[in-house]
């Protein structure tokens, strides 16, 4: 473990928080904005899902080679390269509007996000001590969730057919870069992996399949939620409830802000594997109840059914964030040095695979089944993963008894 002074840790934290904020704000703003822009051009939900999947394909490609790139560049320059890729994408998106060109640009955007995500998570896990790892990661993810809350607020008041959503994204990237600069001399040099990238990633996956597969489930639900939750809400309530659609995303993100530190604290005091499963089961229940209450979105927020709706969305967002917080905490607990890079790379690959499949499956389901396709397509992966994780944990507990 790298030993840094308290001041150096603070400087690294600020840099990594800024990088996480850049990923979350630009993603939470652009996913719904781009989906709405494509719908305004007449594209179906399945086509919108295919376009969103290109972004996750970029995440997968970079994550596959991250165990080579990050040790070669160092954490600092890997994050800088990610910020440059995100910035170039945000410049290109409003200039080259069109389904095919957006496929290419969103692929580049996903590559930049993947570098930020993998390098930032790994650097953070190298800094913190395992005794308080959950709390530090909770703070880290809290800031990320705060970024997720900013995007929908901006998106609800910005025209998706103008350049303003992308200007705000560029401003975020510039702020992140300014915070990153003080950490350039605090980089950590990792050893170059001696075995092949594929073998290293396969090894860490077999060592912790439950934790790593949580990322695939998280990506599936997150990609579908960010791309279609607001469109689903407008389909059920009517297009005049556009801001309510964005509020669904926003409330979930705001709730996640307040959940992450308590969940991180719990991760330092209770069994982390059971805590992960608890978050998954809570997510499953909240997804089940969400469609049953969505009609209350027409009511004033203080009405009982409306309060129940926003409460369920809050629990949904908090449990989603908790899965991410506990997942990366478990990775930092189990892996070190270049193995931690490989573990975070697998985490990012599986997030990308889930995110690639999520919008595509949900878009196709909504095109064929109507609004009901939204809830069924996001509930299914959570149920499947929850059963798998529960089986694995019960088997492990029996073996240790």
* Mean pLDDT, rounded, for 5-31: 76
- Judged by average pLDDT, the poorest of 110-119, 310-319, 374-383 is 110-119
- pLDDT of 385: 95
For residue range 172-182, what is the model confidence (pLDDT) as tens digits?
Answer: 888 888 888 87
For 385, what's the count of Cα atoms within 13 Å in the CB-facing half-sphere?
29
Residue 202: CB atoms within 10 Å = 14
Separation CA 231–CA 315 (nearest Å): 21
For residue range 367-400, what is the model confidence (pLDDT) as tens digits?
Answer: 888 888 888 999 999 999 999 999 999 988 777 6
Residue 387: CB atoms within 10 Å = 12
* Mean pLDDT, rounded, for 329-357: 84
pLDDT over threshold 80, residue 321: yes
For residue range 248-282, what is the model confidence (pLDDT) as tens digits?
Answer: 877 887 888 888 888 989 988 899 999 999 999 99
- pLDDT of 308: 92
Percentage of the chain with pLDDT > 90?
20
Angle at 105 between CA 121 and CA 340, to 5 degrees: 15
Under 8 Å CB-to-CB from 317, ≥6 apart: which residues?
A: 145, 251, 252, 253, 254, 255, 256, 259
pLDDT over threshold 80, residue 48: yes
Give the DSSP H or E segment for 271: none
Averaged pLDDT score across all residues of the chain: 84
- pLDDT of 1: 44
Separation CA 372–CA 185 (nearest Å): 52
Cβ proximity of 106 and 34 under 8 Å: yes
Nearest to 122 by CA among 85, 67, 62, 80: 67
Domains and CATH numbers, the chain: 6-400 (1.20.1250.20)
Cβ proximity of 97 and 146 under 8 Å: no
Angle at 278 between CA 215 and CA 323, to 5 degrees: 25
Tell me which of 145 and 125 has the higher pLDDT: 125
Nearest to 124 by CA among 135, 140, 105: 140
Under 8 Å CB-to-CB from 375, ≥6 apart: which residues?
A: 287, 290, 291
Tell me which of 125 and 217 has the higher pLDDT: 217
- pLDDT of 254: 81
Cβ proximity of 365 and 173 under 8 Å: no
Separation CA 110–CA 348 (nearest Å): 11
CA 253 to chain centre: 11
Q: Is the dihedral of CA 221, 224, 227, 231 positive or negative?
A: negative
SS3 190: coil
Instruction: Give me Rg for the CA atoms of the chain.
Output: 20
Tell me which of 10 and 68 has the higher pLDDT: 68
Residue 315 pLDDT grade (very low, low, confident, very high; cuts 50, 70, 90): very high
Separation CA 393–CA 43 (nearest Å): 43
Separation CA 144–CA 17 (nearest Å): 7
- pLDDT of 283: 94
* Mean pLDDT, rounded, for 328-356: 84
């Amino acid at each position: 473990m790298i030993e840094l002074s308290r001041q150096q840790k603070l400087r690294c934290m600020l840099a990594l928080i800024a990088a996480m904020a850049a990923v979350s704000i630009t993603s939470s703003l652009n996913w719904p904005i781009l989906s709405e822009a494509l719908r305004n051009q007449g594209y179906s939900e399945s086509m919108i899902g295919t376009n969103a999947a290109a972004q996750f394909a970029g995440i997968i490609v970079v994550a596959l080679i991250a165990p080579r790139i990050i040790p070669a560049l160092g954490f600092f320059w890997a994050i800088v390269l990610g910020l440059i890729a995100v910035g170039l994408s945000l410049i290109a998106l409003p200039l080259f509007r069109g389904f095919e060109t957006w496929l290419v640009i969103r692929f580049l955007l996903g590559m930049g996000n993947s570098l930020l995500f993998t390098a930032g998570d790994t650097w953070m896990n190298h800094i913190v001590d395992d005794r308080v790892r959950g709390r530090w990661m909770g703070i880290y993810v809290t800031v990320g969730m705060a970024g997720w809350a900013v995007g929908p607020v901006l998106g609800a008041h910005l025209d998706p057919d103008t350049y303003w959503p992308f200007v705000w994204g560029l401003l975020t990237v510039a702020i992140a870069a300014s915070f990153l600069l003080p950490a350039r001399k605090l980089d950590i040099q990792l050893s170059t992996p001696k075995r092949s990238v594929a073998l290293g990633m396969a090894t860490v996956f077999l060592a912790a399949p439950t934790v790593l597969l949580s990322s695939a489930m998280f990506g599936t639900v997150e990609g579908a939620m960010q791309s279609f939750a607001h469109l689903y809400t407008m389909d059920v309530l009517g297009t005049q409830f556009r801001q309510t659609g964005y509020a669904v995303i926003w409330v979930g993100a705001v709730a996640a802000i307040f959940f992450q530190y308590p969940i991180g604290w719990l991760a330092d005091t209770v069994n982390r594997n059971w805590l992960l499963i608890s978050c998954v089961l809570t997510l499953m229940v909240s997804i089940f109840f969400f469609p049953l209450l969505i009609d209350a979105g027409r009511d004033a927020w203080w009405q009982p059914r409306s309060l129940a709706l926003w409460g369920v969305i809050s629990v949904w967002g908090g449990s989603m964030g908790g899965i991410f917080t506990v997942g990366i905490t478990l990775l930092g607990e189990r892996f070190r040095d270049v193995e931690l890079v490989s573990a975070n790379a697998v985490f990012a690959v599986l997030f990308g695979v889930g995110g690639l499949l999520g919008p595509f499956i949900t878009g196709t389901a909504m095109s064929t089944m109507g609004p009901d396709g939204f809830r069924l397509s996001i509930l299914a992966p959570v149920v499947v993963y929850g059963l798998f994780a529960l089986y694995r944990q019960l088997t492990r507990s029996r073996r240790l008894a």
